[in-house]
Structure 1
Amino acid sequence: MKGPLFYSKILLFGEYGIIKDSKGLSIPYNFYNGALKTDINPSEAAIKSNESLKRFVTYLEAINPELVTFDIEALKSDVEAGMYFDSSIPQGYGVGSSGALVAAIYYNYAHNKITVLENLTREKLLTLKSIFSEMESFFHGKSSGLDPLNSYLSIPILINSKDNIEATGIPSQKVDGIGAVFLLDSGIIGETAPMVSIFMENMKQEGFRNMLKNQFIKHTDACVDDFLKGDIKSLFKNTKQLSKVVLNNFKPMIPVQFHELWKKGIETNDYYLKLCGSGGGGYILGFTEDINKAKQALKDYKLEVVYNF
């Protein structure tokens, strides 16, 4: 194995909004991880990952050298020797599978890399973010660079705006708290690129732009503030509003069979659902004031609790 494990991430708030300067809050999720490896008898998955790495190396060779340079020779020879990314992070689930891979490649092969042990000034964070954005664009067509940043640093990141990000602390969990953030498995693999292009297409309409600014971003920003302050009452009020706005305006990003379930949560207050990443499948993020009620209401689905209030 080469280098440490890199973990998945969850963007609690900010999906789509951060493209247009909303706040965002991203946390590492240590349940899933990945690392670069070489095996004598590679599995089918390892061979597939290695093929993808070969294409990625070609892409990295063409990245602007003023932004970042790599030890391409070492990378090429390791990939030729069968190196692959061994990962438990589900792909297309909105928890940063490509982000962890990008972080691992940067950690092992970048020249003059910024390390986690340095004093991480805003300048350094933004530099890392732009390097990662460029690297991860290979997978999605357009990337904010936040997923790899989160995976690389393994600390919560607060996005105040595009040019203002900082490492942050989040309120510690109440182990016995019944309020919870959870992941709901949609059972469908989501594709980021098509979802982002639907969003960009919608952005051409004035009505959609106004909704984004006056409703979506307003509630997203409020949720981030509430979460960091630990104001749970206000957090659930704003999450409910956010869930409504997403259901009314981001329908293509919500798998059809979840539209009713989404609505039911808002009507009963048993849980509120929101997008996890770009949507279209993968995980859906849920917030509940009573995890037992949510589990009962969603008993036909697989839930994973990621944070307790």
Structure 2
Amino acid sequence: MKGPLFYSKILLFGEYGIIKDSKGLSIPYNYYNGALKTEENLSELSRKSNQSLKRFAEYLEGIDESLVRFDIQLLKSHIEGGMYFDSSIPQGYGVGSSGALVAAIYDKYAKDKITVLENLTREKLLKLKAIFSEMESFFHGKSSGLDPLNSYLSIPILINSKDNIEATGIPSQNVEGKNAVFLLDSGIIGETAPMVRIFMENMKQEGFRNMLKDQFIKHTDACVEDFLKGNIKSLFKNTKQLSKIVLNNFKPMIPIQFHELWKKGIESNEFYLKLCGSGGGGYILGFTEDIEKAKKTLSDYKLEVVYNF
């Protein structure tokens, strides 16, 4: 048995900001994916996944049935039979490994589920987001529900505010384009929960709250607008500002060995780095106006191009 594939995602803009109602833009990243699978003889890795699914099933039993109902008996019997989540999505890398798993479980075991083929009204999108938020909280302590939503629908999602989200189109890829979005591998696994805790602690300080509102959210919103409208010049101007703000105010979320490189990108204008997900490790997201030049400068790092434009 093997279920349908669910893809990883990249939040291009909006990390941390969306907690405080900034805009956000999330796109599917088809390079990585996962699916539910069943085997009798489980490898060490598959057994770990199977054990985790067991705990997840118990957690799902406690979710308010007025929000979502699952066929828990069927789920548990499949887990007993050796079901696990077979995934190429790296964990702790900010590309939605738990999101894909949540989407797969909802797809297979939710009763009266909202399907991808329906006319996805804003109400339905918000309902799905609320369900996924509740489900994914098992993994992160607090989840916006966006990662599973993106994985489930496999289309770009524009977050206008907490209760205003819509499926969107993004400018089509230009494979020849020199402008690019890329991922850098930090070589470290990041954990979401501790990073979110640091952020919430910082939010208690008035200075940090003001910076978030007046600078971080302002430039995040502008980046989303610029990207969707194809205002390339303005996009890079705002991304540079965003990169600076993150370096100055989100240092704990940037692995220490990348602080200098981050600064170098801003000073040389060759590339601008930003957090991919909650940070603390995993991938770092990069934007450049000249991907070939950036590749040369970053030749010591593992770089994956996500999108050319």
Give the TM-score range, shorter chain: over 0.9
Partner of 1:133: 133
Partner of 1:219: 219
Partner of 1:166: 166
SS at match of 2:48: helix
Supply the distance in 2 between the matched residues of 1:165 and 1:4 (Cα, whole angstroms).
25
Matched, 1:70 2:70: yes
Partner of 1:266: 266
SS at match of 2:91: coil
SS at match of 2:262: helix
SS at match of 2:237: helix
State the shift of 1:149 in Å. Answer: 0.1
**Structure 1 gap segments, 5+ residues each:** none
Supply the distance in 2 between the matched residues of 1:209 and 1:12 (Cα, whole angstroms).
22
Supply the distance in 1 between the matched residues of 2:4 and 2:17 (Cα, whole angstroms).
32
Supply the distance in 1 between the matched residues of 2:178 and 2:240 (Cα, whole angstroms).
18
Paired AA for residue 306 in structure 1: V
For the 8 Å contact 1:2–1:108, the answer to whether it is kept is: no
Matched, 1:307 2:303: no
Partner of 1:205: 205
Supply the distance in 2 between the matched residues of 1:201 and 1:96 (Cα, whole angstroms).
24
SS at match of 1:4: coil
State the shift of 1:146 in Å. Answer: 0.1
Matches within 5 A, 1:93-172: 93-172=93-172
Matched, 1:56 2:53: no
State the shift of 1:41 in Å. Answer: 2.0
For the 8 Å contact 2:3–2:37, the answer to whether it is kept is: no
For the 8 Å contact 1:181–1:306, the answer to whether it is kept is: yes
State the shift of 1:19 in Å. Answer: 0.1
State the shift of 1:40 in Å. Answer: 2.5
Supply the distance in 1 between the matched residues of 2:24 and 2:221 (Cα, whole angstroms).
7
Partner of 1:252: 252
Partner of 1:176: 176
Question: Which stretch shifts more, 122-131 or 38-47?
Answer: 38-47
Per-residue CA deviations over 1:155-186 (Å, capped at 9, x if unaligned) read 00000000000000000011111110000000
Paired AA for residue 222 in structure 1: A
SS at match of 1:25: strand
Question: Which stretch shifts more, 124-133 or 172-181?
Answer: 172-181
Per-residue CA deviations over 1:66-125 (Å, capped at 9, x if unaligned) read 000000010000001110000000000000000000000000000000000000000000
State the shift of 1:18 in Å. Answer: 0.1
Paired AA for residue 286 in structure 2: G
Paired AA for residue 212 in structure 1: L
Normalising by structure 1, report the TM-score: 0.99
For the 8 Å contact 2:40–2:81, the answer to whether it is kept is: no
State the shift of 1:3 in Å. Answer: 2.7
Partner of 1:81: 81
Paired AA for residue 148 in structure 1: P
Supply the distance in 2 between the matched residues of 1:2 and 1:11 (Cα, whole angstroms).
28
Partner of 2:279: 279
SS at match of 2:10: strand
Matches within 5 A, 1:30-45: 30-45=30-45
Supply the distance in 1 between the matched residues of 2:128 and 2:3 (Cα, whole angstroms).
18
SS at match of 2:75: helix
State the shift of 1:227 in Å. Answer: 0.2
Paired AA for residue 126 in structure 1: L
Supply the distance in 1 between the matched residues of 2:41 and 2:234 (Cα, whole angstroms).
54
SS at match of 2:65: coil
State the shift of 1:42 in Å. Answer: 1.3
Normalising by structure 2, report the TM-score: 0.99
Paired AA for residue 204 in structure 1: K
Supply the distance in 2 between the matched residues of 1:43 and 1:98 (Cα, whole angstroms).
20
Paired AA for residue 286 in structure 1: G
Q: Please tell me the root mean square deviation across aligned C-alpha atoms, in Å.
A: 0.5
State the shift of 1:292 in Å. Answer: 1.0
Paired AA for residue 272 in structure 1: Y
Per-residue CA deviations over 1:260-290 (Å, capped at 9, x if unaligned) read 0000000000000000000000000000000
For the 8 Å contact 2:183–2:304, the answer to whether it is kept is: yes
Identical residues among aligned pairs (%)? 86
Paired AA for residue 71 in structure 1: D
Paired AA for residue 289 in structure 1: E
Paired AA for residue 254 in structure 2: I
Supply the distance in 1 between the matched residues of 2:96 and 2:249 (Cα, whole angstroms).
24
Supply the distance in 2 between the matched residues of 1:274 and 1:307 (Cα, whole angstroms).
15
SS at match of 2:77: helix
